[in-house]
């Protein structure tokens, strides 16, 4: 019991809300029901339409609520909560997407890993599908700079009974930002997540920055699970994935020609199919990726 109490006093569980009140409130209720302390939970609202509902949730549940008057994206919102939690004396931080399901036992295991494995700076769980819990989404993320920083997931869409892995997978390039735990000390070494990215690749860049500039390791505990929902890839998604992959190439010497050629091909296909908003997303992503200022807001 004492160990669990120490964890709750030491850990900030951060949930970023943007028009996702139903998922956010469900996740908060689930965590509280399992015994998570109210003041261990930090919900940030990124100036969404359900901001008032999130504010009421905070009062009702006595959890920490941060209401932003500006939607600065994933990194911006999470950075706000991290800074507040640091002021509150927290030393460990768990970033959760609102649609993630994770048990207190899994959270405790990740926290214990960071206690017992002092060389790990970031750690995450195996992520499986909520609608098919034996099906793996990710045992850790991979990046391919030679392919314009295309990403992949280890054991993607494989069934658990068909894979054999060690307890800890260190051979990864990033920890998925939907469920990512880290220790305070990495902030001293590499700073916060880069807010310029707005959406997608923030955790990839952060993980890569940690691996390239420090001796910290990152890992996934494959015996620790979280469950997620996955939606269709919209034009919004494709714009940021296109732009941010090119930005990753600019930051880390990736193959810009590869990603621009790939994305131009996708834009032409979208045009032929009459999907003009999707084609526009690819083209705008390419142009903004190549020519916009890549400031490092971190």
From 228, 246, 265, the end of a domain falls on 228
CB 153 within 8 A of CB 137: yes
**Given this model, what pLDDT does residue 295 score?**
67
The two three-digit tokens of residue 223, written as one number: 């015996």
pTM for this entry: 0.93
Compute CA distances 9 → 31, 114, 164, whole Å. 15, 15, 36
Range of the structural domain that residue 133 is part of: 2-228
Does residue 138 share a domain with residue 6? yes
From 182, 210, 228, the end of a domain falls on 228
Does residue 17 share a domain with residue 140? yes
Give tens-digit pLDDT for 13-51: 999 999 999 999 999 999 999 999 999 999 999 999 999
From 211, 228, 245, the end of a domain falls on 228
- Give me the number of domains the chain comprises: 2
Give tens-digit pLDDT for 179-197: 999 999 999 999 999 999 9
The two three-digit tokens of residue 188, written as one number: 């001293």
Q: Is the pLDDT of residue 4 over 80?
A: no
Does residue 263 share a domain with residue 129? no
Helix ranges (H only) for 223-255 are: 235-252
Residue 297 inside a domain? The answer is no
């Amino acid at each position: 019991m004492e160990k669990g109490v120490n964890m709750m006093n030491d850990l900030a569980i951060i949930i970023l809300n943007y028009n996702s009140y139903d998922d956010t409130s469900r996740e908060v209720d689930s965590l509280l029901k399992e015994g998570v302390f109210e003041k261990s939970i930090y919900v940030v609202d990124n100036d969404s339409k359900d901001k008032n509902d999130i504010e009421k949730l905070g009062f009702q549940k006595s959890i920490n609520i941060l209401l932003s008057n500006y939607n600065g994206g994933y990194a911006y919102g999470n950075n706000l909560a991290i800074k507040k939690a640091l002021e509150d004396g927290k030393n460990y931080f768990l970033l959760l997407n609102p649609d993630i399901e994770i048990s207190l036992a899994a959270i405790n295991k990740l926290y214990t890993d960071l206690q017992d494995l002092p060389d790990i700076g970031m750690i995450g769980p195996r992520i499986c599908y909520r609608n098919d819990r034996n099906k793996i989404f990710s045992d850790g993320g991979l990046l391919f700079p030679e392919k314009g920083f295309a990403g992949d997931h280890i054991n993607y869409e494989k069934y658990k009974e068909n894979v054999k892995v060690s307890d800890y997978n260190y051979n990864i390039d990033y920890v998925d930002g939907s469920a990512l735990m880290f220790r305070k000390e990495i902030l001293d070494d590499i700073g916060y997540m880069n807010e310029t990215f707005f959406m997608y690749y923030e955790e990839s860049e952060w993980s890569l920055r940690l691996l390239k500039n420090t001796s910290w390791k990152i890992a996934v505990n494959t015996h620790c699970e979280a469950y997620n929902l996955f939606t269709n890839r919209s034009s919004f998604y494709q714009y940021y994935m296109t732009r941010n992959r090119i930005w990753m190439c600019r930051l880390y010497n990736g193959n810009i020609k590869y990603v621009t050629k790939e994305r131009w091909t996708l834009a032409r296909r979208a045009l032929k199919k009459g999907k003009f908003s999707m084609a526009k997303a690819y083209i705008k992503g390419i142009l903004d990726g190549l020519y916009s200022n890549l400031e490092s807001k971190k």
